[in-house]
Amino acid sequence: METQPKKEGRQAQKENSLFEWYDSLVFALTVIVLVFVFCVRVITVSGYSMEPTLYWGDRVAVQSMLYTPRRGDVVVMDGYINYGDPLVKRIIAVGGDTLDIDFATGTVTLNGQALEEPYISAPTTTRYDISFPVTVPEGQVFVMGDNRPRSLDSRSSEVGFIDQRDILGKVLLRIYPVNAFGVLEYR
- Give 107's strand partners: 102
pLDDT reported for residue 153: 92
Give CA–CA dist 42/174, Å, rounded. Answer: 9
Selected from 2.40.37.10, 1.10.3210.10, 1.10.10.10, 2.10.109.10, the CATH number assigned to the domain covering 42-183 reads 2.10.109.10
Q: Of the segments 8-12, 25-29, 163-167, which one has the largest average pLDDT value?
A: 163-167
What's the one-letter identity of residue 97? D
Asked if pLDDT for residue 6 goes beyond 80, the answer is: no
pLDDT reported for residue 65: 78
CA angle, residues 150, 152, 71, in degrees to nearest 5 = 100
Domain boundaries, the chain: 1-38, 42-183
Asked if pLDDT for residue 34 goes beyond 70, the answer is: no
Asked if pLDDT for residue 187 goes beyond 80, the answer is: no
Per-residue pLDDT tens for 94-149? 999 999 999 999 999 999 999 999 999 999 999 999 999 999 999 999 999 999 99
pLDDT reported for residue 42: 85
Q: Who's near 125: CB < 8 A, 6+ residues apart? A: 103, 104, 106, 148, 149
pLDDT reported for residue 50: 94
Give CA–CA dist 148/186, Å, rounded. Answer: 17
* Band of residue 25 on the pLDDT scale cut at 50, 70, 90: confident
Q: How far is CA 123 from the centre of its chain?
A: 23
Mean pLDDT computed over 59-77: 90
pLDDT reported for residue 40: 77
Q: Hey, which residues are catalytic here?
A: 49, 89
